[in-house]
């Protein structure tokens, strides 16, 4: 089911990476969930999933997108300007939310690229700071300029100094403030835990993985070697995930 919304504003982070702010009536959602955005292209409705980035109480719905070369929908979304109409699913969906996470001391959020979006939404809620003693965010991109929401993340680091660790990883150029290897490699070599000054273990950690499917599979395999299990509704575990393709 679709509802018609309207683009109200946009932020361009790079030539291809952008956020859209949309007015649409979709009812309540939980941080971590996604909607479908749709446009009619050559008389056919093309819809794809996009995670919501805003706090659930905010009126404007916010999504972070990348224009995929040769993609069917994302180049058309990239052309949208304030005032343009856009279709959106009438409801948000998805289970990568905090209410499905069993009690745990530490929350590890690991994202590549645009998959930082659902974690930004979670970090904007009070619940995440009440539910966990410590939160570690690991954000992997190719180039430094692709680190969207950097200002907000710096603010959160200052606000939650003793409760929040933010680690970025930039793989295609050297950066003084970031790790320079992919997330699975940083986990395997112990660099992530060294930087966050915490250990990942089944007793104390819940890990959420989002974005690039190769990062997710490799990281999941490494976590399973340490005894962490996939979190399922019928069998609670330690790893929640959402693959973007
Ligand atoms: C649950 C879920 C949530 C998602 N949330 C987001 C989001 O918040 N922001 C977002 O930009 N995309 C998100 N995606 C991906 C999005 O749905 C589309 O697949 C993407 O925009 C490409 O659509 P397209 O029609 O342009 O490309 P298509 O013609 O469908 O081509 C798909 C190809 O694009 C590439 N691709 C898809 N998504 C990405 C990406 N995010 N980064 C780099 N390459 C990609 C892959 O190579 C994939 O095989 C999400 C997907 C899922 C399943």
Q: What is the CATH number of the domain that holds 43?
A: 2.40.30.10
DSSP letter string over 91-135?
A: S-B-S-SGGGSPS-SEEEEEEEGGGHHHHHHHHTSSHHHHH-SEE
Statement: the pTM of the whole predicted model exceeds 0.85: yes
> Residue 129 sits in a domain of what CATH number?
3.40.50.80
Domain boundary among 89, 122, 149: 89
Residues 83 and 104 in one domain: no
Residues 12 and 105 in one domain: no
Q: Taking the CA atoms of 12, 16, 18 and 23 in sequence, report the sign of the dihedral they define.
A: positive
- Residue bearing the CA closest to ligand 1, atom 50: 244
Structure confidence by residue, pLDDT tens digits, 114-165: 999 999 999 999 999 999 999 999 999 999 999 999 999 999 999 999 999 9
227: left (phi over 0), alpha (psi -120 to 50) or beta: left
Q: In ligand 1, which atom is closest to the CA atom of 70?
A: 29
- Residue bearing the CA closest to ligand 1, atom 53: 244
Residues 60 and 103 in one domain: no
CA 19 to centroid of ligand 1, rounded, Å: 14
Domain boundary among 37, 60, 89: 89
Residues 106 and 227 in one domain: yes
Residues 216 and 152 in one domain: yes
Residues 28 and 136 in one domain: no
CA 199 to centroid of ligand 1, rounded, Å: 32
Give residue 226's pLDDT band: very low, low, confident or very high (50, 70, 90). very high
Order of strands, sheet of 34-41, starting from the edge strand that comes earlier in the sequence: 44-51, 34-41, 85-89, 2-12, 17-23, 61-66
Residues 129 and 58 in one domain: no
Tokens of 36: 């479908």
CA 241 to centroid of ligand 1, rounded, Å: 15
Report whether residue 78 contacts ligand 1, using a CB cutoff of 6 Å: no
Domain boundary among 33, 64, 89: 89
Structure confidence by residue, pLDDT tens digits, 35-93: 999 999 999 999 999 999 999 999 999 999 999 999 999 999 999 999 999 999 999 99
- Residue bearing the CA closest to ligand 1, atom 10: 65
Report whether residue 76 contacts ligand 1, using a CB cutoff of 6 Å: no
- Residue bearing the CA closest to ligand 1, atom 4: 50
Residue 118: per-residue pLDDT? 98
Q: Which domain holds residue 74?
A: 2-89
């Amino acid at each position: 089911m679709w509802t018609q919304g309207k683009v109200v504003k946009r932020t361009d982070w790079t030539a291809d990476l952008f956020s859209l702010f949309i007015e649409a009536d979709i009812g309540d959602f939980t941080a971590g969930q996604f909607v479908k955005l749709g446009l009619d292209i050559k008389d056919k409705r093309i819809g794809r999933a996009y995670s919501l980035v805003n706090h659930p109480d905010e009126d404007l719905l916010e999504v972070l997108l990348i224009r995929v070369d040769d993609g069917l929908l994302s180049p058309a979304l990239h052309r949208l300007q304030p005032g343009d109409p856009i279709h959106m699913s009438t409801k948000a969906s998805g289970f990568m939310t905090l209410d499905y996470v069993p009690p745990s001391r530490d929350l590890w959020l690991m994202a590549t690229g645009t998959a930082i979006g659902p974690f930004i939404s979670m970090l904007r809620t009070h619940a995440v700071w009440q539910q966990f003693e410590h939160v570690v965010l690991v954000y992997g991109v190719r180039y430094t300029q692709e680190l969207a929401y950097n200002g907000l993340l710096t603010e959160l680091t200052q606000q939650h100094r003793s409760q929040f660790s933010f680690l970025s990883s930039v793989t295609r150029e050297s950066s003084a403030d970031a790790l320079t290897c992919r997330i699975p490699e940083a986990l395997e070599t112990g660099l992530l835990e060294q930087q966050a000054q915490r250990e990942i273990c089944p007793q104390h950690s819940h890990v959420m993985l989002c974005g690039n499917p190769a990062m997710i599979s490799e990281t999941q395999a490494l976590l399973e070697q340490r005894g962490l299990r996939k979190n399922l509704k019928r069998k609670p575990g330690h790893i929640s995930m959402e693959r973007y393709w």
